Amino acid sequence: MIALKNDLLLQALHGETLNRPPVWMMRQAGRYLPDYIKLREKYDFFTRVQTPELACAITLQPVDQVGVDAAIIFSDILVIPQAMGMTVLMEENKGPLLPQTIKTEADVDALITGGVEDSLQYVMQAISLTVAQLGGKVPLIGFAGAPWTILCYMVEGKGSKSFDKAKQFCFTQPALAHKLLQKITDITIAYLKAQAAAGASVVQVFDSWSGMLGPADFKLYAQPYLLQIADALAGTVPVILFPKGSWYALPELGASAAAGIGIDWTVPPAIARSMAGPSATLQGNFDPAKLLAPIPQIKAEVKTMIDAFGTSRYIANLGHGILPNVPVDHARAFVDAVKEYGT
């Protein structure tokens, strides 16, 4: 194992007292970076994801070019439906498309749940390669989609404004929904453990659509599976849960085995702290669109954000993925402002 030269992210997740928080950005390896766009012109989406050398090169770009305190492996949450035997198509600048959706018990029974170390071996190879190339410069974050969010895509077949087909599936066939969620949870735990074994220092679970659920349905269809994942990884690597939009669940998630909880930009820091409790490390929550503001305004608002969250038990990040139309120097200003905090 390579010793980390910059382990601020791990210190923040362990609750150590820091002078400034670590900083990274969701989707930092991606569409706003000119070098990424060049690779995108040459290789299609799943070629980029499935070729360890390409995934590694893309992962390293923001570390070198923007100066973040952590890398996150370039991949996609929909590799799990693929590993479970479903077809996933990805058109550039459009969303994903799963032509055969899950409707019946037979569909759920046909899903593959084993062998993820083999079927997604390319991810583990990309992680090993990236960790070697990083040489301890910063930690590498692995990730997966949360079971509810993966169910959304499996049932809906694509993005949606309301994910009402996914919800209808749960509301009308709850036993089948739980069977599916458990299958996704099992393979996701194996997948995240394999990522940790390959060298990921931290893993994040993206529940991008959890905020579509009201509090009672979140407790039924999202929370138990997030907690299972946090419990299963405890003692392996720190887990960050990011249930976007589900501010109402902060007390339960803050008391869970997860080391960190991501929050979106609509949650006031003081309310987040009070709801999540003293032992949770919070991550977020700069409005991604605020990176389109003039640089002095970005810097001033980053300072306000850190003033509100404090420098310990806190990871500076956006409240959602970086937008493709953000100028690179604005992304860099965000990172710089965190690094300059208190100096």
Q: Where in the sequence numbering do the catalytic residues fall? A: 27, 31, 40, 76, 153
List the Cα angle 224/229/232 in 5-degree steps.
120
Decide: is 163 part of the binding site for a copy of itself (CB under 8 A): yes
- 272 belongs to the binding site for a copy of itself (CB under 8 A): no
Segment lying near a copy of itself (by CB under 8 A), choices 128-136, 179-187, 195-203, 211-219? 211-219
Q: Is 100 a residue that touches a copy of itself (CB under 8 A)?
A: no
Q: Does 248 bind a copy of itself (CB under 8 A)?
A: yes
Rounded Cα gap, residues 244 and 264, in angstroms: 6
Q: How many chain residues bind a copy of itself (CB under 8 A)?
A: 37
Q: Is 164 in the site for a copy of itself (CB under 8 A)?
A: yes
User: Binding a copy of itself by CB under 8 A: which of 287, 303, 310, 311?
Assistant: 287
Task: Report the distance separating Cα 52 and Cα 172, nearest Å.
Answer: 41
Instruction: List the alpha helices (DSSP H) in 105-173.
Output: 105-109, 116-119, 121-134, 147-156, 164-172
Nearer to a copy of itself, 136 or 321 (CB): 321
Region of 19-27, 38-46, 163-171, 230-238 interacting with a copy of itself (CB under 8 A)? 163-171
Q: Does 292 bind a copy of itself (CB under 8 A)?
A: yes
The answer to whether residue 93 forms part of the interface with a copy of itself (CB under 8 A) is no
303 binds a copy of itself (CB under 8 A): no
Q: Which of 245, 254, 260, 262 binds a copy of itself (CB under 8 A)?
A: 245
* Least Å from the CB of residue 158 to a copy of itself: 13
Secondary element (H or E) of residue 240: strand 239-243
Is 211 near a copy of itself (CB under 8 A)? yes
Q: Which residues contact 222 (CB under 8 A, 6 or more apart)?
A: 146, 147, 148, 207, 210, 213, 243, 246, 249
Q: Which is nearer to a copy of itself, 181 or 213 (CB)?
A: 213
d(CA 22, CA 283): 10
Alpha carbon distance 158, 212 (integer Å)? 15
Q: What is the DSSP letter of 311?
A: S
Closer residue to a copy of itself, CB minimum distance, 197 or 292: 292
251 binds a copy of itself (CB under 8 A): no
Pairing of strands 89-90, 96-97: antiparallel
Q: How far apart are CA 135 and CA 342, in angstroms?
A: 28
- Contact region with a copy of itself (CB under 8 A), list: 3-11, 83-91, 122-130, 282-290: 282-290
- How far, in Å, CA of 56 to CA of 53, rounded? 5
Residue 271 makes contact with a copy of itself by CB under 8 A:
yes
For residues 169 and 161, is the Cβ–Cβ distance under 8 A?
no
Cα separation, 101 vs 243, whole angstroms: 23
Binding site residues, a copy of itself, CB under 8 A: 162-164, 167-168, 171-172, 211-217, 245-248, 265-268, 271, 285, 287-290, 292-294, 297, 304, 319-320, 323, 325
